[in-house]
Amino acid sequence: MKSSIKYIFTFFLLLLTQSHNNMAVAYTEKQKYRVVHSEEGFEIRFYPASILATVYSDAKTYRELAYPGFRKLAGYIFGSNESDTKISMTSPVHMEFSKSESSMSFVMPSSFSEENLPRPIDPAVKIEKTEDVYMATISFGGYASDKKIRDYSDKLRTLLDKKGISWYGNFRYLGYNPPFQVFGRKNEIIVPVKWSERISQ
């Protein structure tokens, strides 16, 4: 575990170096969403369509997926693409786990479209566009772990079932902070829900 954290720490340091060298980006762009409904312990958000760079894996845990997934995606945004373009890091990083397949994704900056986003050289990096979607979200602090991801996924599932809100698909982990940030850490679990904004009116 210590070696995995060390490798991820190194890559985040490289990302910070890229950020300082790229004066065109003065902040880390956050994925856009709109809160449409709030409950005690969770909220419902609308996420507009976005473009993701994704790697898929047979990893079953956060620890197994974190380093190899990050390494491939970091390579892509550092310039391992058809035009040697440096792409700014955004927040959060998406991680999704299932019994059959797991994935890690970086959200592409809003300045890129499907037409002008450079293609990755590594065939393991897939460029995909998501659809508009409503997501239920629960937040937690500190450092993420497999246990925390399971516990908060279970907690969100229980809250949604109690409120009669239909969810579908896999629960996904969102990580917002580099590993060397000790205070003010932000993590989230999200899952797609069947929602109409008329429900909250």
H-helix or E-strand spanning residue 152:
helix 146-163
CB 33 within 8 A of CB 91: no
Phi, psi of 31 (to 5 degrees): -60, 135
Q: Report, as an integer, the average pLDDT of 85-101.
A: 93
- CA distances in angstroms from 184 to 32, 33, 89, 116, 163, listed in the order given: 20, 21, 19, 35, 30
Label residue 26 by pLDDT band (50, 70, 90).
very low
| Residue 133 domain boundaries | 2-200
Could you tell me the two tokens for 40?
């005690």
Report the candidate in 157, 147, 133, 160 with the shortest Cα–Cα distance to residue 187.
147
pLDDT digits (tens, 9 = 90+) for 137-170: 999 999 999 999 999 999 999 999 999 999 999 9
Residue 85 to residue 105: CA distance in whole angstroms: 18
Residue 29: other Cβ atoms inside 10 A:
15
Kindly tell me if the per-residue pLDDT of 176 is higher than 80: yes
Query: At 166, which CATH number?
Result: 3.20.80.10
CB 59 within 8 A of CB 100: no
pLDDT digits (tens, 9 = 90+) for 98-149: 888 999 999 999 999 999 999 999 999 999 999 999 999 999 999 999 999 9
Report the domain count for the chain.
1
Does the global pTM surpass 0.75? yes
